[in-house]
Amino acid sequence: MKLPVLRSRRLPAEVTVRVPGSTSNCGAGFDSLGMALSIYNEITLTRGDWRGSRPGAASDTHGLDMADEAAGLFFVRAGVEEIGYTLAIRGEVPMSRGLGSSVTLRAGVVAGLNELTGAKLSKDDLCSLVTQLEGHPDNATPAVIGGFCVARCDASTGELLGVLRKPIGKELCFVVASPNQELETKKARGILPKELPYFDAVKSVNSATYVVAAFLTGEYDRLRHAVKDFLHEPYRLPLIPGAKPAIEAGVAAGALTGWLSGSGSSVLCVARPKDAAKVGRAMAAAFTAHKLTATVHALYADNDGLKIVKRG
């Protein structure tokens, strides 16, 4: 009888993780809804015989504290011995523009260490870990598993309790305008009120549930003018000159609806692909009228989430 050959898989010395950027809140789905987008960062970790992280290039230094925090939680959760590594961050997801750049870094580090250490955490484990690092699940879950995600957390601990995911096809384009003005999530959360008028909450629930239903049923024409948020946009949009006019201009140019992407500063319009170029031009022009330059990307949903693209 031939016995099966057991091979021990060699652990890689270097790994590159491609992580999609994401838009979150999607209007009134504050800290609950998110969509992975076809814009990416690549996080490369190279094993080293030192403790902690080192930058691959000077531009990576800025990400080291966030990477160290992610790595610290990963080693505890995975129950593996700490390793040192070099960190390199490359890609197109702009920093502090409401497109989940922090999640690309956090998710890239934990998924990279998962490979380098052979820890074998599942994508569910990674969703939960990155949610804990972020403090909310709305960018974390789509970045890890892709698609349009509706996530639920424990009200007191913030622990991720569940996520439902819907792939979104190429019938929809997500036109993003990112102005040349950063807005840190920490600052954009700090300006939110402690209390809300009761009917602002009611109107927001009404819009968010309708938007979820439109994405889940695929009746995308129902998205027309469907986003009405009273939870965060009224407080944040005034911080970004041209942001509200940019959403309005995108909708006037043919988009179905639009929202402040995450905590800003980017804004996003949902459009049919045939209308995307016109919508993008209108959004950029609105920022120009307010003396900001915006980079426009016409994106699709990413339905895969993070991927290991290189092992060496």
Ligand X SMILES: N[C@@H](CCO)C(=O)O
Binding site for ligand X (CB under 6 A): 24-25, 30-31, 136, 138-139, 185, 188-189, 232, 262-263
Q: Is 49 exposed, middle or buried (0-12, 13-18, 19+ CB in 10 A)?
A: exposed
Give which of ligand X, ligand ATP, none residue 95 binds (C-beta under 5 to 8 Å, depending on kind).
Answer: ligand ATP
Q: Which does 204 bind (CB under 5 to 8 A by kind): ligand X, ligand ATP, none?
A: none
Place of tokens 């995975």: 78
CA–CA dist 167, 146 (Å, integer): 7
Q: Which is nearer to ligand X, 106 or 136 (CB)?
A: 136
User: Of ligand X, ligand ATP, none, which one sits near residue 124, judging by CB under 5 to 8 A according to partner kind?
Assistant: none
Compare residues 189 and 203 and give the one whose CB is closer to ligand X.
Answer: 189
Per partner kind, with CB cut-offs from 5 to 8 A, the member of ligand X, ligand ATP, none near residue 96 is: ligand ATP
Contact criterion met (CB below 8 Å) for 278 and 155 = no
Q: At its nearest, how many Å lie between ligand ATP and the CB of residue 23?
A: 8
Least gap, CB of 263 to ligand X (angstroms): 4
Of 177, 181, 179, give the one whose Cα is nearest residue 296.
177
Which of ligand ATP, ligand X, none has residue 160 at its interface (CB below 5 to 8 Å by kind)?
none
How do 173-179 and 267-271 pair as beta strands?
Answer: antiparallel
φ, ψ at 24 (rounded to 5°): -130, 170
d(C-alpha 61, C-alpha 52), whole Å: 13
Q: Are 40 and 21 in contact (CB under 8 A)?
A: yes
What's the closest the beta carbon of residue 265 comes to ligand ATP, in angstroms?
9
CB closer to ligand X, 176 vs 188: 188
Q: What is the largest CA-CA distance in the chain?
A: 78
Q: Where do the DSSP E strands lie in the chain?
A: 14-24, 33-48, 53-55, 84-91, 148-153, 160-166, 173-179, 257-260, 267-271, 294-299, 307-311
Q: At closest approach, how far in Å is the CB of 58 from ligand ATP?
A: 11
Compare residues 189 and 290 and give the one whose CB is closer to ligand X: 189
Nearest to ligand ATP of 43, 282 (CB atom): 43
Which residue has 């402690």 as its token pair? 194
Three-state secondary-structure class, residue 174: strand
Using CB under 6 A as the criterion, which residues of the chain lie in contact with ligand ATP when the complex forms? 24, 62-63, 66, 89, 95-102, 105, 139, 184-185, 262-263
* Minimum gap (Å) between residue 259 Cβ and ligand X: 11
Q: List phi, psi (to 5°) of 248.
A: -60, -40
101 binding partner (options ligand ATP, ligand X, none; Cβ < 5 to 8 Å by kind)? ligand ATP
**CA–centroid distance for 282 within its chain:** 24
CB nearer to ligand ATP: pick between 104 and 253: 104
Q: Which of 72, 149, 78, 125 is nearest to 303 (CA)?
A: 149
Could you tell me the smallest distance in angstroms from the CB atom of residue 148 to ligand ATP?
A: 16
Q: If contact means CB under 5 to 8 A according to the sort of partner, which of ligand X, ligand ATP, none does residue 30 touch? A: ligand X
Q: From the CB of 264, what's the least distance to ligand ATP, in Å? A: 7
* Angle, helices 123-134/64-78, rounded to nearest 10 degrees: 130
